[in-house]
Amino acid sequence: MFNLTFRQRRYFSYGIRWVVALILIFFAIFPVLWILSASFNPTNTLATAKLIPDNIGLDNYYSLFNNPNTPFGIWIWNSIKISSITTVLSVSVTTLAAYAFSRFRFSGRENMLKAILLIQVFPALLAMIAVFTLITQFDSIIPAIGLNTHAGLILVYLGGAMGVNIWLMKGFFDTIPRAIDESAMVDGATHWQTFSQLLLPLMRPILIVIAILTFIGTYGDFVLARVLLKSTDQYPLMVGLFIFTSGQFSQQWGPFAAGALLGALPIMIIYLVLQDQIVGGLTQGAVKG
């Protein structure tokens, strides 16, 4: 086609990809600029007539950090703590289950897989009331996992660990040829050894992806957390931020926007750090049957 050297062709392709990337980034970032604008705007509006507000100021950020009724630092810490614990446990549960679904053939396997997905699609809004009742009852038996405890909330989150991610993980397991396990087993390896030493390293990309998804999902939840946690010091970030929107006409969008942007930072950092791990598998030549 073009009379170009390999290197020139590569740079050409990079150039085009960068142009596409810039367009996409514009699309991704543009609304966020308005949120940034709202966070500097003391009038608590989300109307987007002007990108640079008239009375630009840091009031909203200041009020986030200096108002004893909105302990922003504690909220972020709570969120990170809850999300991290949930992510580690949930990914463990998911991975073990997905291995079983992929590698064993047992009766009820297909129906279980279907059931897992169906349970996930049950509209959760009203089940929330039942979850509240359940945790209230736990509260009077083992207060440590009852209302207003992070442990109780995490347990409820883990109830969703057997979710659609099992399908994703199982699909990934399925693409790893069985021959790998079989040869290991012939050499006397147990299922656990095959799973933990052979397959898990290969699974790294999808494990990271699912971990990030779980982390973001937990981090962003406010529906469950709002019902189960009641004291300001226990709130995760999202529930804390929703306090600002509770008045029907007096939503404080300024602090909300500021908090939402700052709250996004931990996720961005985690993603930046883990990103190489996602693509890592490819460079190592992944699967060699």
Partner 1 sequence: MKNYFFKAAVVALAMIVLVACGGDTQQVVEEAAQQVEEAAQQVQENSEEIAEQVDQAAAEAEQAVEEAQEAVEEAVTEAEEAAEEVVDEAEEVMEFETSITIWADDTRAPILSELAEGFQNEYGVGLVVEQVADINDQFPIAAPAGEGPDILILAHDRIGGFYASGLLAPLDLGDTAGEFLPVSVDAFTYEGDLVGMPYAIENLGFFYNTDLVETAPTTWDEVIEVGGALVESGDATYAIALTGTTYDMFPLQTAFGGYVFGQSEAGYDPSDVGIDSEGMIAAGEFVQTNVEAGLISDSLDWDTAHVQFETGEIPFLMAGPWALDRIREAGVPYGIAPFPTAEKEGQPFLGVQGFAVNALSENVLLAQTFLTEFVATEDVMRQLAESGNRPSAFAAVASEDPDLVSLGDAGVNALPMPAIPEMGSVWGSWGDAFTLIVNGEQSAEDALTNGGEQIRALIAGEELPEEEGEEETDE
Partner 2 sequence: MAVQALKRFETGDGQSATLSNVVIRLVLLLAIDAFAIWFAVRAFGEGYLPLGIAIALIAAGVNYVILVKEMYPIRWMLLGLILMAMFSIYPILLTVFVAFTNYGDGHLLTKPQSIEQITKARFVPEGGSAYTWTGYSNEAGDYALWLQSENGDSFLAFPGQTLIPAAEATGLGELDSEGIPESVGDYERLNAFQVASDQNISTIQFGSELDGVQIRSPQEAAQLQPKFAYDEANDIINDLETGVSYTPVEGRWTAANGDELTAGFRANVGLDNFTRFFQSPAFRGPLVRIIIWNFAFAFFSVFATFALGLAIAYVFNDPEFPGRKIIQSFLLIPYTIPSLITILIWRGMFNPQVGVINRTLSDLIGIAPAWTVDPWLAKIAILIVNLWLGYPYFMLICSGALQAIPGDLYEAASIDGANAWQQFYKITLPLLLVAVGPLLVASFTFNFNNFNIIFLFIEGGPPIAGSPTRAGHTDILISYVYNLAFAAGRGKEYGLGAAITIVIFVVVAVITLFQFRYTKMWEEVGEGV
Q: Which residues bind partner 1 (CB under 8 A)?
A: 42-47, 49, 54-55, 67-69, 85, 89, 92, 129, 132-133, 136, 139, 142-147, 149-152, 154, 188-193, 196-197, 226-227, 230-232, 239, 242-250, 252
Burial class (CB in 10 A: 0-12, 13-18, 19+), 41: buried
Closer by beta carbon to partner 1, 146 or else 281: 146
Phi/psi zone of residue 47: left (φ > 0), alpha (ψ -120 to 50 degrees), beta?
beta
Question: By C-beta, is 97 or 147 nearer to partner 2?
Answer: 97
Looking at 12-20, 58-66, 72-80, 228-236, which segment touches partner 2 (CB under 8 A)? 12-20
Q: Are 208 and 274 in contact (CB under 8 A)?
A: yes
Cβ at position 16, least distance to partner 1 in Å: 40
**Sequence letter at residue 253:** W
Near partner 2 by CB under 8 A, which window of 1-9, 54-62, 69-77, 262-270?
262-270
Give, in order, the Cα–Cα distances in Å from 165 to each of 86, 178, 210.
Answer: 14, 21, 7
Q: Would you give the DSSP letter of residue 162?
A: S
Look up residue 113 and give its DSSP letter.
H
Supply the minimum distance, in Å, between the C-beta of residue 105 and partner 2.
7
Q: What is the rounded end-to-end Cα distance, in angstroms, of the chain?
A: 36
CB of 117 closer than 8 Å to CB of 170: no
- Kindly report the length of the chain: 289
| DSSP state, residue 195 | I
* Residues between 206 and 225 that touch partner 2 (CB under 8 A): 206, 208-210, 212-213, 216, 220, 222
Distance (Å, whole) CA 48 – CA 37: 9
Burial class (CB in 10 A: 0-12, 13-18, 19+), 241: buried
Map residues 93-132 to x or -, x wherever contact with partner 2 holds by CB under 8 A.
Answer: xx-xx-xxx-xxxx--x----x-xxxxxxxx-xxxxxxx-
Could you say which of partner 2, partner 1, none residue 85 binds, taking C-beta under 5 to 8 angstroms by partner kind? partner 1
- Rule CB under 8 A: is residue 249 a binding residue for partner 2? no
| Binding residues among 57-86 for partner 2 as defined by CB under 8 A | none
Q: Residue 272 touches which of partner 1, partner 2, none (CB < 5 to 8 A by kind)?
A: partner 2
Q: Rg (Cα) of the chain, in Å, rounded?
A: 24
Name which of partner 1, partner 2, none residue 281 binds, using a CB cut-off of 5 to 8 Å depending on partner kind.
partner 2
Of partner 2, partner 1, none, which one sits near residue 206, judging by CB under 5 to 8 A according to partner kind? Answer: partner 2
Q: Which is nearer to partner 2, 20 or 58 (CB)?
A: 20
84 binds, among partner 2, partner 1, none (CB under 5 to 8 A by kind): none
Among residues 64, 225, 241, 243, the one that binds partner 2 under rule CB under 8 A: 241
Residue 229, SS3 per DSSP: coil
Spell out a b/e string for 124-139, using b for 16 or more CB atoms within 10 Å of the CB, else e.
Answer: eeeeeeebeebbeebb
**Positions in 162-201 near partner 2 (CB under 8 A):** 162, 164, 167-168, 170-172, 174-177, 179, 181-183, 185-186, 190-191
